[in-house]
Structure 1
Amino acid sequence: MTVQAILAPLFAQVLLTFALMIWMAQTRFAAARAGKVTPNKGSPRTFGWPEKAQQVADSFHNQLELPPLFYVLVTLALVTKEADLLFVAMSWAFVASRYVHAYVHTGRNRTMTRFRCYFVGALILLAMWAIFAIRILAA
């Protein structure tokens, strides 16, 4: 596999994270300007943001949970030359699950649908790690 093919899903995941970060900043600034939030001592997470601002912020923060394991795995697979067509296909499936999860999270936010999207992505990532570990340890 080419470096571009291996890194393209990673770039797509990074794009999602930055897009959510920018959207979070926009919704939070708009809420603050409109006087819909009162900053207090402590974390901005406890400021009582309007629902949409909180959803977008939660979705952004969620991109800092599973995806770092994906970033590490892609880097390791690239360095060890263990990234093949299956790896790239699974990478795209993981990233697609993250996009769907973010869409659900920032939309109607149906908890069970969101959980299923998260769970599918987690299973894909777990399988990717298992396959990678087996290939490395069996070499």
Structure 2
Amino acid sequence: METNAILGPVATLALWSMIMWVWMYATRIPAMSRAKIDAKNLVGTTGRGLDDVLPAEVQWKAHNYNHLMEQPTVFYAVALALAIGGMGGGLNAQIAWAYVALRIVHSLVQATVNRVMWRFAIFALASLALIALCLHAFMGFVLH
């Protein structure tokens, strides 16, 4: 069994995060220009401060990018731990791919139609996959 197979989903989610970063700025910068926001003169503000100024559809991409910097940090940590511990293949790799696929679908829903209940259902499924990975790591490292 390839114990580093879980690194494929890790690399994929990292790349997806950078795709969302590009999408965020590809929509946000033109929207800021249309809104006559001079970014060079902005002081002490955050991207969240743009929620009142830019169209919601533009900010959805930024919100999703922020979400990709939150819960997936646990995914990265547990996936790397599983790989280092020789448990990154088989079922754990499959669960990791499911997690990444669900996070990508979550991104696409949030960045386009942004239906909250759809997002929640997808997020809940992804969270269950992440919980499974965390439990497998716990069982492998602590209960072993």
TM-score, length-normalised on structure 1?
0.91
* CA-CA distance at 1:50 after TM superposition: 1.5
* Matching residue of 1:131: 136
* Matching residue of 2:15: 15
* Matching residue of 1:83: 88
Q: How many residues align?
A: 139
* Matching residue of 1:108: 113
CA distance 1:116–1:36, shift in 2 (3 Å):
farther
- Kept in 1: contact 2:31–2:58 (CA 8 A): yes
Query: For the aligned residues, what is the CA RMSD?
Result: 1.7
SS of the aligned residue for 1:65 comes to coil
Instruction: Tell me, in whole angstroms, the C-alpha distance in 2 between the residues paired with 1:65 and 1:122.
Output: 12
Q: Name the aligned partner's letter for residue 93 of structure 1.
A: A
Instruction: Tell me, in whole angstroms, the C-alpha distance in 1 between the residues paired with 2:38 and 2:122.
Output: 33
Kindly indicate whether residue 31 of structure 2 is the aligned counterpart of residue 31 of structure 1.
yes
SS of the aligned residue for 2:6 comes to helix
* Matching residue of 1:44: 47
* Matching residue of 1:58: 63
Specify which of 89, 98, 103 is matched with residue 98 of structure 1: 103
Q: Name the aligned partner's letter for residue 98 of structure 2.
A: A
Instruction: Tell me, in whole angstroms, the C-alpha distance in 2 between the residues paired with 1:4 and 1:75.
Output: 9
Instruction: Tell me, in whole angstroms, the C-alpha distance in 2 between the residues paired with 1:134 and 1:96.
Output: 25
* CA-CA distance at 1:84 after TM superposition: 2.6
More relative contact order, 1 or 2 (CA 8 Å, 6+ apart): 2
